[in-house]
Amino acid sequence: MFTGIIDGVGEVKAVEDIKGDGKKMTLQSRDYAFDLKIGGSVALNGVCCTVVHIDNNRFSVELMPETLKRTNLGTAKVGDEVNLEKPLRLNDQLSGHFVLGHVDGVAEVVASKHNGEFQDIALRLKDFSLKKFIARKGSIALNGVSLTVVDVKGDTFTVALIPHTLISTNLRYADAGRLLNVEIDMLARYVEKLNQK
């Protein structure tokens, strides 16, 4: 489990095919891998992954076909920046919201506007059935970043990025046309499940 508070950005150094139509992705991030463990979890753009190899400042994860199909990791290439987050520990502060690392799909940035030092981005979900889970002032994770939904209009929703988020995550590249991973608030998911009974 994660909080959506990104604690590093890694650069993709290699993407290799593996058996079963999966990929092995190797990332580098200065001083990030020292407390990762083989078999442990790390979130890449909000996707919970298992660490399979560590070598100094580099580490590798394996991505299954479903992850490649459903998330923007399927189009990641060497040189891309990926948001990183280590899993929540029992003594950590819960500064964001509960993020499971189970990405629901992607949303396309349809507009990006600077508002002083802030940036407003409007997005359209690729899977429109997820829209019912997105509420004004509700929580959402985009590329693993815990954010508050500013507004929902028609088939789009808007979030605002503060300067710290722009500096410390790959959302600074969230221009029109870019696809961002979306994880809906887990509370909304469970409320929907309860209402089905």
Whether the pLDDT of residue 196 is over 90: the answer is: no
Report domain extents, the chain: 8-85, 105-195
pLDDT tens digits, 102-117? 999 999 999 999 989 9
Whether the pLDDT of residue 156 is over 90: the answer is: yes
- How many helices (H) and strands (E) in the chain? 3, 12
Correct CATH for 105-195 of 2.40.30.20, 1.10.260.40, 1.10.10.10, 3.30.420.40: 2.40.30.20
- Give backbone dihedrals phi and psi of 169, rounded to 5 degrees, phi first: -135, 170
pLDDT of residue 197: 66
- Give backbone dihedrals phi and psi of 46, rounded to 5 degrees, phi first: 90, 0
Task: Say if CB 29 and CB 92 are below 8 A apart.
Answer: no
The string over 53-65, giving b where at least 16 C-beta atoms fall within 10 Å of a residue's C-beta and e elsewhere, is eeeeebbbbbbee
